């Protein structure tokens, strides 16, 4: 089995429909990943253990999604030097702006690469993770180039009446 280099973590089971977009992209590109529920609020010991072990386990990118008071991505970034890509999950009360602001405004020294709110942001997190790994993996780079070319080719030149 391929070595897992990407960890997808999320604050709650309820984030999975969003975070699955990242997983689906990684599946399409043949990138091995693991998906775990880890919460800074509800399972702080699990967060600590995951962050402490990340480098030793060979993780190269962590995609962290959370909604509302979304402290998970930033706390994970504080615990490991493995790059963290943050996904603001859309919320009902504040449309995900709360999640975005919670993730994006990190203090100097502990960055989180923050994506857009919601499903598109999660998919882009998968693509960003693949792009990082592709720097050291020529086969993956080829698959990513093909994926991008296929998307580009699927865009019509002219609009049609629906
Ligand atoms: N933002 C966080 C964290 C965290 O940042 O550690 N843990 C859970 N949550 C968020 O709470 C929201 C509601 O969770 P529930 O649906 O389980 O009530 C989720 O979007 C989750 O990411």
Pocket-forming residues, ligand 1, beta carbon under 6 Å:
10-12, 14-15, 39-42, 66-72, 89
Q: Provide the pLDDT for residue 2.
A: 79
**Residue 4: is its pLDDT beyond 90?**
yes
| Topology at the third CATH level for domain 6-154 | Rossmann fold (3.40.50)
Atom of ligand 1 nearest to the CA of 99: 1
Mean pLDDT for the stretch of residues 67-96: 98
Mean pLDDT of 135-151: 98
Q: Which of 18, 12, 11, 16 is nearest to 90 (CA)?
A: 18
Segments making up each domain of the chain, as ranges: 6-154
State both tokens at 21. 């977009």
> Binding site for substrate: residue ranges?
12, 15, 42
Distance 127 CA to ligand 1 centre (A): 23
- Mean pLDDT value across residues 45-68: 98
Which tens digit of pLDDT belongs to each residue from 85-102? 999 999 999 999 999 999
Query: From the CA of 92, how far away is ligand 1's center (Å)?
Result: 12
Tell me the H-state helices in the chain.
16-28, 44-53, 72-79, 97-104, 119-134, 138-153
- Region 131-149 average pLDDT: 98
Q: What pLDDT does residue 162 have? A: 85
pLDDT band at 26 (very low <50, low <70, confident <90, very high): very high
Q: Phi-psi bin for 98: left (phi > 0), alpha (psi -120 to 50), beta?
A: alpha
Atom of ligand 1 at shortest distance to CA of 13? 17
Q: How many angstroms is it from 99 CA to the middle of ligand 1?
A: 10
Provide the pLDDT for residue 1: 67
Please compute the mean of the pLDDT values over residues 64-74 and round it to a whole number. Answer: 98
pLDDT at 68: 98
Q: Given this model, what pLDDT does residue 151 score?
A: 98
pTM of structure: 0.97
């Amino acid at each position: 089995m391929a070595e897992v280099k990407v960890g997808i973590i999320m604050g709650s089971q309820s984030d999975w429909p969003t975070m699955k977009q990242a997983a689906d992209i990684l599946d399409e590109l043949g990138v091995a990943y693991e998906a775990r529920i880890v919460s800074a609020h509800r399972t702080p010991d699990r967060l600590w253990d995951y962050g402490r072990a990340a480098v030793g386990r060979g993780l190269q990118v962590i995609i962290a999604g959370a909604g509302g008071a979304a402290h998970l991505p930033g706390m994970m970034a504080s615990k490991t030097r493995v790059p963290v890509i943050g996904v603001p999950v859309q919320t009902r009360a504040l449309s995900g702006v709360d999640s975005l602001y919670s993730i994006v405004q990190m203090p100097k020294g502990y960055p989180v690469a923050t994506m857009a709110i919601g499903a598109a942001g999660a998919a882009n997190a998968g693509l960003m993770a693949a792009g990082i790994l592709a720097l050291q993996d020529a086969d993956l780079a080829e698959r990513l180039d093909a994926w991008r070319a296929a998307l580009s080719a699927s865009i019509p030149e002219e609009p049609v009446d629906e």
